[in-house]
Amino acid sequence: MWDRRACLALASALFAVSAFILALKLLQPASINVYLGTGENSTLVTRIPGFYTQMDLVVVLVFSIILGASGTFILLSRPAGVGEPLWKQTLEERRKGWEGVSKTLKDDERRVYEAILEAGGMINQSELPEKTGLSKTSVSRALDLLESRGLVERRRRGMGNVILLK
């Protein structure tokens, strides 16, 4: 019935509202007015500031329980795919996209692209000729075409280049 996102949204809203109401109640305690007489003939004798009424205590207790329960739920709820670091999840998502792109490439471009993909999306340009079996010139041309399509990026590192998939 309720999915995880809806439950987290509800818990977050309850947490925020409870924290706000608790802050208001704890920072602004009610003052007690002491009257002498009854009805229209009553006279205010004194005002005692800084006292919590029974209703204030009930409100603080109820919203403390809601705050604790919603905070615990938020802390203990685990995102989908937990156990796998976020960078690995992101890399897997990108890998799926990259694999789809490799089907649209020509032979040399595909070989270079897949070598970069197998290396995890980042490789030194000097390693590509031996991984692909292509000459340095063919690798350079293929990288030029891939870079012009916006699929890879060359970054200068010392005497060589590092190739990154975008």
Q: Is 35 helix (H, G, I), strand (E, B) or coil?
A: strand
- The CA distance from 101 to 99, in Å, is 5
- Torsion 131-134-136-139 (CA) sign: negative
Residue 114 lies in a domain: yes
CA distance between the termini of the chain: 39
pTM equals 0.47
At 1 the pLDDT is: 63
Residue 81 lies in a domain: no
Q: Are residues 91 and 156 in the same domain?
A: yes
Task: Domain of residue 25: give its range.
Answer: 4-76
DSSP string spanning 15-31? Answer: HHHHHHHHHHHHHS---
Pick the last residue of a domain from 52, 76, 100. 76
Q: Are residues 117 and 58 in the same domain?
A: no
Summarize the confidence of residues 118-125 as an average pLDDT. Answer: 87
* Cβ atoms of residues 34 and 48 within 8 Å: yes
Q: Are residues 116 and 153 in the same domain?
A: yes
In the sheet that holds 122-124, the strands lie side by side as 122-124, 160-165, 152-157
Pick the last residue of a domain from 76, 108, 125. 76
Number of domains in the chain: 2
pLDDT at 68 over 80: yes
What CATH number does residue 152 fall under?
Answer: 1.10.10.10
